[in-house]
Structure 1
Amino acid sequence: MTTQNPRAVVFAYHSVGVRCIKTLLARGVQIDLVVSHEDNPTETIWFESVADLCREHGISRITPENPASPELFEQIKALAPDFIFSFYYRHMLPTNILALAKRGAYNLHGSLLPKYRGRVPVNWAVLHGETETGATLHEMAAKPDAGGIIAQTAVPILPDDTAFEVFGKLTVAAEQILWFALPSLIDGSAKLLANDLSKGSYFGGRKAEDGRINWSLPAQQVYNLHRAVAPPYPGAFTEVDGNIYVIGKARLLASTTSNNTANLPQGLSVVDNAIFGGCGDGRALHIIELLMNGKVVTASSLQQQLAAQ
């Protein structure tokens, strides 16, 4: 099989999309079209821009609302790509589009498949207290994240890592996987590993409301929720007298703490001019940064609010 000038259509968004497009270009892949998303004005845009990258490199970019549209199918069919890649694109691609890739259609997913198939895998992994996750390059199929695996790279999730920090590690892992896998994809020698769905898990998307804190849960679970949705995600939040407080930064206190923070009441408290969140198992979070309407809440102002209840 020829190894010269492979041509691709790329579905891409987010920092992973940017880094992987750069990797394709560095490996000599000709990108005829990028299919992406328009930025959502209600979403905090903390990641790199695929749109900016396409403008920089003169790559044609479109943002159809529905990737299953007949118009998009015909446009890709006319391009007759060797490969189709999906890098953090937010929609499933229909099988008729996948079939247009003469040499395969591949996706980079932010987990160690078959674990955490589906939406927002990084956030789910942190929420469940995993100590590692990773990125997987795999063949696309009718089911989400179900095709054969080309390569995987694991990254650690440290005890205090937020989902944002883990995502940064996965962006690097995605670039590494693609860089090392592309030569075998291009020359046709790549081997597929089994993706046994019976040994994995599937999760759907998350809403901002899912960040509401249940203080009766053990402190580790509350801390995992905070880490999973900490800014720039919407954040773990609690409500006091109609006021919404979001945890910006926090640390889980050791199980053995000084008397002044042991067995605090469930919910927010102020002790010695510091903010804590008491949990159902008697342990607490030290809340380093508490936010209301995007502004930092001081311990003294919170204490006044709590006293007024």
Structure 2
Amino acid sequence: MSDLDQPKRAVVFGYHNVGVRCLKVLLAGGVDVALVVTHEDSASENIWFESVISLCQAEGIPYITPADAKSPELLAQVQALKPDLMFSFYYRHMLPAELLAVAPAFNMHGSLLPEYRGRAPVNWAVLHGASVTGASLHEMTVKPDAGAIVAQMEVPILPDDTAHEVFGKVQVAAEQALWRVLPSLLAGTAPRLHNDLRKGGYFGGRKPEDGRIDWSQPAQQVYNLHRAVAPPYPGAFTDVGGVRYVIQRARLAGTGRGNFGNVVSLSLPPGLAVVDNCIFGVCGDGRMLTIASLTADGEPITAEQLQTRLAARA
């Protein structure tokens, strides 16, 4: 067998659903995955996604979970494997220049680059009311999400989609983008499209506290916040009387029958309210969210129970 007939050897850095799906694409494409570098699940995190470790165990792929991507031990281990290619599929650590120098490296990012570079791209896209996003495979550089684009796949963000629902689309887009470009990537003929960093923007990570609701904002902005952080993410919340209320499910009111599209005539102040045994979130522009499911300090609360609590504070 000639060198041209030998399967390409790859080292994969991966985690989360995108890590699982894209690793499966490489295996289906005949890539020799010599090593997977991944993370141990954190006991403090809500693990709602698939396990890269479980896939490695099922497929007999060697894997490691180093705490530091910059460790000399990891660099030496990857260098010893002499990979033809390296991939990063939702791996959570930046790879240092020394590691990127081992072989051509490609990262899968959950947006249409150069839009929404950085952390939590799907959540930021929903928060900003974007109507489209997708997945981008790009060359890795020391600067995050800055390398040339190799492949992209677009998906819609519907008006009522939550970030979790959009992420489901993005992970399929990532699989499709990688599947389509993989033959040319392995052949060394994949395109390189300019990643214009003058466009789009860079965004940092999000914390649970970023889900705090400012009821003085217009209803669309409050709704976008809810959609961006709805479960399985921590959720949009408001504190009333020392109790934390977290919105589990809600819709922007004002379109369907039975909804109160504009409550100015009801003289309700911004914040949580109960009208006709329904829970609403009244916003700064007089419009509101119809809240179908709400928790109080982690426990479900009914409209009747909430009305009793709100009346006691009046």
1:170 aligns with 2:167: no
Q: Is the 8 A contact 1:249 1:290 kept in 2?
A: yes
Partners of 2:27 and 2:20 in 1: CA distance: 11
Aligned to 2:222: 222
2:36 alignment partner, one of 18, 34, 41: 34
Q: Which amino acid aligns with 2:76?
A: E
CA contact (8 A) 1:260 1:271 kept: no
3-state SS of 1:180 partner: helix
Pair 1:255–1:75, CA change in 2 (3 A): same
Letter in 2 for 1:33: L
Q: What's the RMSD between the two structures over aligned residues?
A: 1.5
User: For the Cα contact (< 8 Å) 1:3–1:186, is it kept in 2?
Assistant: no
Cα gap change, 1:228 to 1:259, in 2 (>3 Å)? closer
Q: Residues 39 and 108 of structure 1: is their aligned pair in 2 closer, same or farther, counting only changes over 3 Å?
A: same
Question: Residue in 2 aligned with 1:302?
Answer: 306
In the aligned structure 2, how far is the partner of 1:121 from the partner of 1:196?
A: 17
Distance in 1 between residues matched to 2:89 and 2:273, nearest whole Å: 43
Q: Which moved more, 1:290-299 or 1:189-198?
A: 290-299
Distance 1:2 1:267 in 2: 66
Q: Which amino acid aligns with 2:170?
A: L
Contact 1:9 1:34 in 2 (8 A): yes
SS at match of 1:2: helix
How does the TM-score come out when normalised to structure 1?
Answer: 0.97
| Distance in 2, Cα, partners of 1:176 & 1:306 | 50
Post-superposition CA distance 1:204-256 (Å, at most 9, x none): 00100000000000000000000000000000000010000100000001279
- Pair 1:69 & 2:71 matched: yes
Match of 2:286 among 271, 274, 282: 282
Count of aligned pairs between the two proteins: 307
**In 1, Cα distance between equivalents of 2:34 and 2:207:** 35
What are the superposed Cα offsets for residues 246-282 of structure 1, whole Å, 9 maximum, x if unpaired? 0000000127986696123200000111000000000
Moved more, 190-199 or 248-257: 248-257
The answer to whether the 8 Å contact 2:139/2:149 transfers is yes
Range moving further from structure 2, 224-233 or 88-97: 88-97
| In 1: Cα distance, 2:105 partner to 2:82 partner | 13
Measure, in 1, the Cα distance between the counterparts of 2:260 and 2:288: 12
Deviations 1:169-198, CA, capped at 9 Å, x for gaps: 001000001111110011111120000101
CA distance in 1, matches of 2:293, 2:216: 21
Find runs of 4+ consecutive structure 1 residues off by over 2 angstroms. Answer: 1-4, 255-261, 292-295
The range that moved more, 131-140 or 258-267, is 258-267
**TM-score, structure 2 as length reference:** 0.95
Sort the Cα spacing of 1:276 and 1:223 in 2 relative to 1 into closer, same or farther, 3 A.
same
Q: Residues of 1 paired with 2:154 and 2:259: CA distance? A: 37
CA shift in 2, pair 1:187/1:259, >3 Å: closer
Matched-pair contact (CA < 8 Å) for 2:274–2:280: yes
Q: Distance in 2 between matches of 1:291 and 1:85?
A: 40
Q: Which amino acid aligns with 2:236?
A: A
Is 1:95 equivalent to 2:97 in the alignment?
yes
Amino acid at match of 2:280: F
Change (3 A) 1:34 1:202: same
| Correspondence for 1:85 among 79, 87, 97 | 87
Q: What one-letter code is carried by the residue in structure 2 that aligns with 1:66?
A: D
Maintained 8 Å contact 1:278/1:284:
yes
